[in-house]
Structure 1
């Protein structure tokens, strides 16, 4: 297979698995699992789940609320969500170049 056929194959795989939970394998052997959320001529966009031990981007808002005694949302302790009333982040966005992908396979979501 030449480079153009490989690219077309990966592009079509990503297109057919849009909004699916997948395992993406890179040229360097790295593997990433997540949900395909977007695709263009150069990149595939994947929502990667955040693990329990990984920090989220809005953790400093929660710390600030605790420091000033605001509690969890709307100024009442124990109500709402941490931060400014929004739910905690559960996914990070990952942008992968299509030319770096070697394989894409669908995973069960449960």
Structure 2
């Protein structure tokens, strides 16, 4: 690992489960909660509603439950295929390569 890669790894490790703003080497910024870390990637939960189609970054788009199809209540009830799991999702998983991170800032919770 080079110095910058090791430095970003340590910053992410120090701010695990914190709400952060990550800046990428292409200048893009993404805010979210750091949920995991390994030698190559940082795993984040990003709020839905952000531009989730960033090129080059992998999104875990698995849909749990069958939200939106149950008896007029989005995310609840029988969908014809199975049961929903309660509340609708508010976050989406984003996997970012550590090598692409250039800065990490802790953001306040509101």
TM-score w.r.t. length of structure 2: 0.73
Q: Aligned-pair RMSD on alpha carbons?
A: 2.6
Written as runs of structure 1 = structure 2, the 5 A alignment for 1:9-48 is: 9-48=7-46
- State the TM-score, normalizing by the size of structure 1: 0.73
Structure with bigger gyration radius: 1
Q: Which runs of 4+ in 1 moved over 2 A?
A: 70-75
**Can you list the C-alpha shifts for 1:40-92, whole angstroms capped at 9, x where unaligned?**
0000001000139x9x957x742x33xxxx333447xxxxxxx7242100000
Kindly indicate which of the two structures has a greater share of residues assigned to helix. Answer: 1
Residue correspondences, number: 94
List runs of 5+ in structure 1 lacking aligned partners: 76-82
- Structure 2 unaligned blocks of 5 or more: 53-60
Deviations 1:14-59 (A, max 9, x none): 000000000000000010000000000000001000139x9x957x
